[in-house]
Amino acid sequence: MNRHNYAYYVLDNPTIPDAEYDKLFRELQALEQTHPELASSDSPTQRVGAAPLPQFAQVTHSVPMLSLGNAFDDSDIIAFDRRVKDGLKLDGSVAYATELKFDGLAINLRYEDGILVQAATRGDGATGENVTVNIRTVHAIPLRLRTAHPPRVLDVRGEVLMFKADFAKLNARQRDVGQKEFANPRNAAAGSLRQLDSRITARRALRFFSYGIGLLDGADMPPSHSALLDWYAELGLPVCGERAVVEGADGLLAFFHGIGNKRASLPYEIDGVVYKVNRLDQQRALGFVSRAPRWAIAHKFPAEEALTVVQGIEVQVGRTGAITPVARLAPVFVGGVTVTNATLHNEDEVRRKDIRIGDTVIVRRAGDVIPEVVAFVPEARPADAREFTMPSVCPVCGSPIVRPEDEAIARCSGGWIKCAAQRKGGLLHFVSRRAMDVEGLGDQLIEQLVDKHIITTAADLYKLGVTALAGLDRMADRSAQNVLTALEKSKKTALARFIYALGIRHVGEATAKELARHFGSMDALTQATEAQLLEVSDIGPVVARSIVAFFSDSLNIELIEQLRAAGIHWPEGVSESKPKPLLGKTFVLTGTLPTLTRDAAAEMIEAAGGKVAGSVSRKTSCVVAGEEAGSKLVKAQELGITVLDEAALRALLKSD
């Protein structure tokens, strides 16, 4: 089990599914119950937490835990590199270890003779809190180091944090049980670790990355920071893979920009990167100023969260009529841009977060994601803060706003005929990149075209001429011509794109592709019954009903006809080129096939019009099973689904 843990947390290369690990865990628990003499204190079963503490004891760090100086732009980094070179009296370039600045909390782990004996928070740097029982519940942290010759004493320093996905799950759980949600993964990690009841900590998915050292006794100090981290990984301590050794300021900046591009896709939050002089002898030579080392610096990203005041809450009307409350904010610089609006998603969300006009709030803008209001600051709420009330009529068209009881979203009931906001939204969706992909037709143009009653429907777009367009604000003949060319180009499209462009409720890109594949033609789709739609994989009753409703509206049928008359076309009919004997069939692959790799088999099935899914359900047509097929084969047999071997699959591909 420790080997599996090591593979998972240190090598980032899981060796068994979670369910298998849980099975081993229960087996070990049972074994320890019948043979208590075999249960050791570093057994994986000893990570479940203990009775609550009255308070945390104080721990004095044997080597103080320092902080880092901050840098925000390139010139700060060039100056840092200069100071380091001057301090070392070096002419050539310095080698730096670069790593991430994790947004969690710093911890010191003390290992004596390879056994975890104490864990303490950083506290004020000199003394922290003893959180050993809590830390023992963190599976990423080894209770015993993986070595036959451990040092007598080793203080490992690093960051405890919560991954984004685990944070989302925790908040969903908090919401379900009516408990307060955490504002961000850092708060969730801190709140989880500093629980007097470690059984609660045990239920929170905390992680750990090592990045430093305190006391070391009974082993040689590695020569460099990178060698230290390599040694840690060997000892079974998690070390983040996003690290490098680079030369000089150029190397530092290249690392910074590389990580900046990756930041949003990392599974955890970081607030910057950290640079450390790699050689430990050079680190010692440079020493410290006050409480920060001269040999290291944090290069921070612009903050993703900031405080500002809600000046008003207005509503926006989307293309499906969905009414979204939007907070109007006092301008604030966050995530690298000035933000004046932030979404509040829907009415329930406003109530749940209890955001009021006049509140001071935390605004978050991460990457290119639209800014959102995270929470209000209770201490800063003015006495006259006003609650938001959902308007009863649409601010754009005056139609009643309705909210079905079982839905979170209130909608304008005007539809696109009455409501200009819906019309604009629908048109913008129609021309968007993943739909008809009309370049150069943005929201400002659509806005003017609709407001000036030049167009009403998507079909009107294709009737536009240079004069109509060139008469608009910020439109020269040349750009008008470009829009017309883009419109012309968009006429040659694909069925899936066209279906998606129609903006049928609940029909996103993936569903549109599925519909195109299944029905092969627009006519077949428009005539499909609910029962026929339900045969399409991934389509349930709600989506089927929405599609039928869309095509039973004569205005929509008329629109499609007009668009086709305007020249929009796509290669229709699926069996024109090659026969597609597996059309509409879903396959699941399991086990090892005698000659085909799984990817090759999937490709062959898809080329024949079939679909490959990851799990077996009632919608599965066939399971293709090879050697050592497991639970998927069992499930197929239970559900009475046809099971094929490779030869039978090949025969099927050849038939028809």
Q: Which parts of this chain interact with ligand IVH (CB under 6 A)?
A: 66-68, 99-102, 106, 122, 159, 211-212, 274, 293, 296, 298
Number of Cβ within a 10 Å radius of residue 644: 15
Amino acid letter for position 390: M
Question: What is the nearest approach in angstroms of ligand IVH to the Cβ of residue 241?
Answer: 13
> Quick one: tokens of 381?
């709420």
The smaller minimum CB distance to ligand IVH, of residues 102 and 167, is found at 102
Catalytic one among 23, 85, 89, 101? 101
DSSP string spanning 481-517? HHHHHHHHHHTB--HHHHHHHTT-TT--HHHHHHHHH
Question: What is the nearest approach in angstroms of ligand IVH to the Cβ of residue 214?
Answer: 10
Helices (H), 214-308: 225-234, 248-262, 280-286
The smaller minimum CB distance to ligand IVH, of residues 106 and 323, is found at 106
3-state helix, strand, coil in the chain (%, to 5): 40, 20, 40
DSSP string spanning 54-104? SSPPEEE-SS------EE-SHHHHHHHHHHHHHHHT-SSPPEEEEEEEESS
The smaller minimum CB distance to ligand IVH, of residues 192 and 399, is found at 192
Three-state SS for 273? strand
Question: What is the nearest approach in angstroms of ligand IVH to the Cβ of residue 85?
Answer: 20
Strands 207-217 and 292-293: unpaired
Distance CA 268, CA 263 (A): 9
Question: What is the nearest approach in angstroms of ligand IVH to the Cβ of residue 295?
Answer: 8
125: Cα within 13 Å, side-chain hemisphere:
8
The smaller minimum CB distance to ligand IVH, of residues 106 and 501, is found at 106
* Burial class of 258 by CB neighbour count within 10 A (0 to 12, 13 to 18, 19+): middle
Dihedral sign for Cα 167, 171, 173, 177, please: positive
Distance CA 169, CA 177 (A): 13
The smaller minimum CB distance to ligand IVH, of residues 138 and 361, is found at 138
Three-state SS for 108? strand
101 given a catalytic annotation: yes
Strands 95-102 and 270-277: antiparallel
The smaller minimum CB distance to ligand IVH, of residues 106 and 487, is found at 106
The smaller minimum CB distance to ligand IVH, of residues 66 and 409, is found at 66
Q: Are 259 and 273 in contact (CB under 8 A)?
A: yes
The smaller minimum CB distance to ligand IVH, of residues 164 and 328, is found at 164
Which residue sits closest to ligand IVH, CB atoms considered?
106
Q: Are 517 and 525 in contact (CB under 8 A)?
A: no
The smaller minimum CB distance to ligand IVH, of residues 246 and 475, is found at 246
Three-state SS for 627? strand
Question: What is the nearest approach in angstroms of ligand IVH to the Cβ of residue 141?
Answer: 16
DSSP state of 25: H
Question: What is the nearest approach in angstroms of ligand IVH to the Cβ of residue 157?
Answer: 7
Distance of CA 36 to the CA centre of its chain: 43
Distance CA 68, CA 41 (A): 36
Q: Are 211 and 225 in contact (CB under 8 A)?
A: no
For the chain, the straight-line distance linking the first and the last C-alpha, in angstroms and rounded, comes to 51
Question: What is the nearest approach in angstroms of ligand IVH to the Cβ of residue 303?
Answer: 14
Question: What is the nearest approach in angstroms of ligand IVH to the Cβ of residue 107?
Answer: 9
Question: What is the nearest approach in angstroms of ligand IVH to the Cβ of residue 73?
Answer: 18
Which of the residues are catalytic? 101
